[in-house]
Structure 1
Amino acid sequence: MSAPTISTTNMANKPHRSRHHGGGPGPSGSTFAKHLRRNLTAHGFLIGAVICFSLFSWYPMVREFLLAFQKTESGRTTWVGLANLSTVYNDPAFWQAWRNTLLFTVLALVLGFAVPFVVAVVLNEFRHARGYLRLLVYLPVMLPPVASVLLFKYLYDPGYGLLNEILGFFGLPAQQWLQDPDTSMLSVVIAATWMNMGGATLIYLAALQGIPGELYEAAELDGAGLFRKVWHVTIPQTRLILSLLLLMQVIATMQVFVEPFLLTGGAGPEGSTTTVVYLIYQYAFNFNNYGAAAALGLVLLVLLAGVSAAYVKLSRAEDE
């Protein structure tokens, strides 16, 4: 009986198994080191972003929360509980600031939310010079806020302002745009809309260009005019963008500060343009009451967080 033989072919087909005997790292260690070197740059940028957010976003929020329940006098900090909230609540300017802020938000939504959408719909109909028109619309956003405010101060000037010159040309009486409590807030809203509408317009325009042209062709075959196409095609197709920008505009307008501060000095005639954020500014830098300023900021934060939570809940309900 002959001894069994081992085929060289079978040996060649068998996988070669190597053994590691002490010393160097195994495959898992080398793979980890390779991934670490590959992602070292990304980790570096991530760590930098986390540090920036920690220092300039998260830490101020935590610090504000603590200040809302503290009071500092002669360098000594003491816990006062809800005393700062009580001080803010009993201030007569508290409710006036909220009324003015809500009025600004409503007017800004009527103008600042609708006007950019209408401008985007009109720009979308143009077939030529689209780039120049987009630049023209976005130009106010690129201007420094101070320059824009100086422009509107010239337009609103009761003596030689351009708006009163136009009214006089048509035989209409001149208006005290920023000096009259009845028109000061509307004047601020118009200026803020012109200064900030460029970004929203370009976002709407990008969303409109993503709508399939077949939908408009089908609507035209059904005899739909421009208004019906916008109502039945454009708005449903851009519903997500519209709702998101609505939330962002509510949050932004509730924190308005720059426009009334630069146009009317903040308070305006008879306090007609005093907003919540300007009242926070007064508490902190005019009255040196940082606890009250933090308490009012905390109230605004809770309100805006509630609005955001309601938006998320409604969005999930619609998706389901």
Structure 2
Amino acid sequence: MGVLRRNLTAYGFLCAALCCFAVFAWYPMVREFILSFQRTNLIDPPTWVGLDNFKAVVQDPAFGTAWLNTVEFTVLALICGYVVPFVVALVLNELRHARAYLRFVVYLPVMLPPIVAVLLFRWFYDPGPGLFNQILDLFHLPGLAWLDSGSTALISLVIVSTWMNMGSATLIYLAALQNIPPELYEAAELDGAGVLKRIRHVTIPQTRLILLLMLMLQIVATMQVFIEPFMLTLGGPENSTVTVAYLMFQFAFTYQNYGVAGALGMMLMVVLLVFAAFQLRFTREDKA
């Protein structure tokens, strides 16, 4: 009876979280699935159109470009946003002084509202008085059209995204590193292992599950990138920064075509589910 009472109490505390999750996560997904098979302006009664919305998405000229840009952004963001936080966490883990202060400095960008961070970088990227071009001018280097050139616009968005989000990843990696038994490092040092060998044979194997989890989370997050292209480039120049999420926004709120936007959202969700399935499989194999 006591066990049942404790379980009921636990479920009672979970009810609020489950209700919020159902209203703000599950219901929108179900509504989007239904919407992807309908034509509606959200005012008049919807009409069922079957797969017409999916055909319209695939036939749109920006469809392929959006997916290519999204994949390229994801790859670049993983190179920067996946590797850099892990390296920073390794450095912080080795420090003996000012560790708490540096952790605060690394995490500070996460505490800024995303819009504030993006507007800050808009000034950094300004081709005239912007900070980055001023730094280049100090070294007598020519300034760059950071957001106005198709060759630099996407990587500029990656830099913004990495700076905004690396704090959380760094702290997660740092927590995982601090849970590694120090005896393993001592044994590796006695065997003559250097820093790189200790990282390869001790650090990475001991943090494998966290690395796989963070890889999945970063893929899911970067493939849904929207704020950076919306606030900085509006998909330009020449559609070089149009992403899948930004194209969904255009379908829904520019063209008032909510059914097509829902169809594109379903495609993105299926792709992310495939990545999640692979991640779960690798995690189970690693545990076994």
| TM-score interval (norm. to shorter) | over 0.9
Specify which of 14, 17, 21 is matched with residue 53 of structure 1: 21
Q: Which of 143, 147, 163 matches 1:194? A: 163
Opposite residue 160 of structure 1, the aligned amino acid is P
Pairing 1:81–2:50 present: yes
Partner AA of 2:181 in structure 1: P
CA distance in 2, matches of 1:40, 1:209: 36
Match of 2:104 in 1: 135
Instruction: Report which of the two structures shows the higher radius of gyration computed on alpha carbons.
Output: 1
Tell me the equivalent position of 1:231: 200
Q: Secondary structure at the match of 2:149?
A: coil
For the pair 1:314 / 2:279, whether they are aligned, the reply is no
Q: What runs of 5+ residues in structure 1 fail to find an aligned partner?
A: 1-30
TM-score (norm 1): 0.86
Residue identity in the other structure for 1:297: G
- Runs (4 or more) in structure 1 with deviation over 6 Å come to none
Consecutive unaligned residues in structure 2, runs of 5 or more: none
Corresponding position: 1:272 with 2:255:
no
2:126 to 133, 157, 164: 157
Report how many aligned residue pairs link the two structures: 287
Distance 1:198 1:173 in 2: 31
| Superposed CA offset, 1:226-245 (max 9, x none) | 22211111111111100110
- Residue deviations 1:159-209, cap 9 Å, x none? 111111111111211100011110000000011100100000000001111
Match of 2:34 in 1: 66
Confirm or deny: 8 A CA contact 2:176 2:207 kept in the other structure. yes
Partners of 1:50 and 1:222 in 2: how far apart?
Answer: 51
Q: Distance in 1 between matches of 2:12 and 2:207?
A: 37
Counterpart selection for 1:222 from 179, 186, 191: 191
How many angstroms apart in 2 are the aligned matches of 1:272 and 1:45?
Answer: 47
CA RMSD of aligned residues (A): 1.7
Residues 1-40 of structure 1 aligned to structure 2 (within 5 Å): 31=1, 36=5
User: Matched residues in 1 for 2:7 and 2:274: separation?
Assistant: 38
Q: Relative contact order (C-alpha < 8 Å, sep 6+): which is higher?
A: 2
Letter paired with 1:180: S
Alpha-carbon distance, 1:78 to partner: 1.2
Q: Separation in 1 of the partners of 2:8 and 2:197?
A: 54
Matches within 5 A, 1:243-262: 243-262=212-231
Q: 1:222 to 1:154 in 2, by over 3 A?
A: same
| Cα shift readout 1:37-62 (whole Å, capped 9, x = no counterpart) | x6665443333223222221111111
Structure 1 distance, partners of 2:115, 2:75, is 24
Report percent identity of matched pairs: 60
Match of 1:100 in 2: 69
| Structure 1 residues 210 and 35: alpha-carbon distance in aligned structure 2, compared to 1, 3 A threshold | closer
Compared with structure 1, are the counterparts of its residues 167 and 230 closer, same or farther at alpha carbon in structure 2 (3 Å cutoff)?
A: same
Partner of 2:263: 295
